[in-house]
Structure 1
Amino acid sequence: MKETKFKKALGTLDEDKSYSTEEALELILKQPKRKFQETVDISVWLGIDPKKSEQNIRGSLTLPNSLGKEVKVAAFVDSDKADEAKKGGADFVGLDDLIEKYKDGNIDFDVAVTTPAQMKVVSKLAKVLGPKGLMPSPKSGTVTENIDKAVKEIKHGQVRFKAEQEGIVQGTIANVNMKKAQLIENFDSFINELKRLKPASSKGIYFKSVFLSTTMGPGYRIDTSQF
């Protein structure tokens, strides 16, 4: 029987081993290529209690190296900010017309941005955007006066993340067509941002576990002692 690409990739995995970042990324880059561009994803189990508001980590990060994928942005802004949004590269620009367009839940964008003044208007879509994780938020940098900058950073490859159940944070940090040095830069940036966001009330081990994987590949456990 022909060996599947997943089984081939799995053959490089030692489940009992904790890999250095460089070792794991080398193995990821050696995996068989697929017909589509796979992403490199990270999963981090943090020593926090996300049920406590002061430990509910959430944020955004513009990676040093672009993810290389198209991200569609909807800018919910009034006429004063419309040109700024278009200059930044927003795919959809408007306010009341966009509210009307998306009220039925047919979403055709990946990220929504708005200004503090328009949050009350955008909140009309809370029941639509909230469950999809698309509601603009100051913590993720998607509620801002600087719409031009926000849209450009999102288009470049901004990662948005938040702690889920049990304190697990997940995100996409790269794609398999990047060079190893670029992968390491993006990985380090993500880890350093989580370090920066460590709650003062978080006690004990902060990085409980870290895994790296591709879209269809196995997960490699990263040695957290290197952090």
Structure 2
Amino acid sequence: MKRGKRYKEAAKLVDRTTLYDPKEAADIVVKTASAKFDETIECHIKLGVDSRHADQQVRGAVVLPHGTGKSVRVLVFAKGDKITEAEEAGADFVGGNELIPKIQNEGWLDFDVVVATPDMMAVVGRLGRILGPKGLMPNPKAGTVTMDVAKAIKDIKAGKIEYRLDKTNIIHVPIGKVSFGTEKIMDNFHTLMSAIIKAKPSAAKGQYLRSVAITSTMGPGVKINGDKISAEK
């Protein structure tokens, strides 16, 4: 892959053979972010599990103390009093059956998170082939299938993110913006890592944290020493 001049200059500040202390890694990522926009800081975690086995899945959600820096659009599938509850809690879109053709036939996907009450999952299930591949399908483990839609919306708007393994056993999640600075990025990082460590499946054997790296949208990745990460902030 051909890299630009800015990337090459930033890459000179990163020793690919070194595993950095988490704070030092965050300092480097912030320093090497040179784009004209506020770059997103992402965390990539490779785990020593096999996502093909149900008992080794790692999936959940956590509220980052400083959010992600992104405005999140929430769609809620509900009926009855829960529609009013969702609207009052700040949901961007609320509805039921009438939304199915809009998503299926018109390709409407102007939302970032989908929340549904349990009694609406039969309806939402019809959208599985569309929402599933995009990571938008509501899930009880992520707290997006619930009767307490007000709390779900509040948490999501406050910075709740979902983490889960991809097919290569890696978790990819945003943990903030460059403008946050090192301290806030570290708060978010430790909160995320604590949740992932505590979510370790009992069936997982050997080294759990295989590799951890953080990077900005346009910058080089910085590898973190897993021995310096604990389940406690």
Query: Scaled by the length of structure 1, what TM-score is found?
Result: 0.95
Selected match of 1:216 from 205, 215, 218: 218
Q: Which residue of 1 aligns with 2:16?
A: 15
Q: Which residue of 1 aligns with 2:38?
A: 37
- 1:154-193 → structure 2 map (5 Å cutoff): 154-193=156-195
How many residue pairs get aligned? The number is 225
Q: Which residue of 2 aligns with 1:142?
A: 144
Q: d(CA) in 2 for partners of 1:82 and 1:166?
A: 38
Q: d(CA) in 2 for partners of 1:178 and 1:112?
A: 27
The alpha carbon displacement at 1:110 in A equals: 0.8
- In structure 2, give the amino acid aligned to 1:82: I
Runs of 5+ in structure 2 lacking a partner? none
Q: d(CA) in 2 for partners of 1:156 and 1:30?
A: 27
Q: d(CA) in 2 for partners of 1:136 and 1:32?
A: 34
Deviation digits for residues 19-51 of structure 1 (CA, Å, limit 9, x no counterpart) = 000111111121243222111101111111111
Q: d(CA) in 1 for partners of 2:207 and 2:83?
A: 46
Structural RMSD (CA): 1.3
Q: Which residue of 1 aligns with 2:94?
A: 93
Equivalent pair of 2:35/2:218 in contact (CA under 8 Å) = no
Query: Scaled by the length of structure 2, what TM-score is found?
Result: 0.93
Q: Which residue of 2 aligns with 1:133?
A: 135
The alpha carbon displacement at 1:180 in A equals: 1.6
Q: Which runs of 4+ in 1 moved over 4 A?
A: none
Q: d(CA) in 1 for partners of 2:116 and 2:108?
A: 19
Q: Which residue of 2 aligns with 1:64?
A: 65
Deviation digits for residues 92-149 of structure 1 (CA, Å, limit 9, x no counterpart) = 1111122232122321111110011110111111121112111111111110111011
Equivalent pair of 1:8/1:32 in contact (CA under 8 Å) = no
Equivalent pair of 1:67/1:157 in contact (CA under 8 Å) = yes
- Structure 2 SS opposite 1:118: helix
Question: In percent, how many aligned pairs have the same letter?
Answer: 39
Distance 1:190 1:32, change over 3 A: closer
Equivalent pair of 1:20/1:222 in contact (CA under 8 Å) = yes
- Structure 2 SS opposite 1:178: helix
- In structure 1, give the amino acid aligned to 2:150: D
Q: d(CA) in 2 for partners of 1:216 and 1:34?
A: 7
Q: Which residue of 1 aligns with 2:29?
A: 28
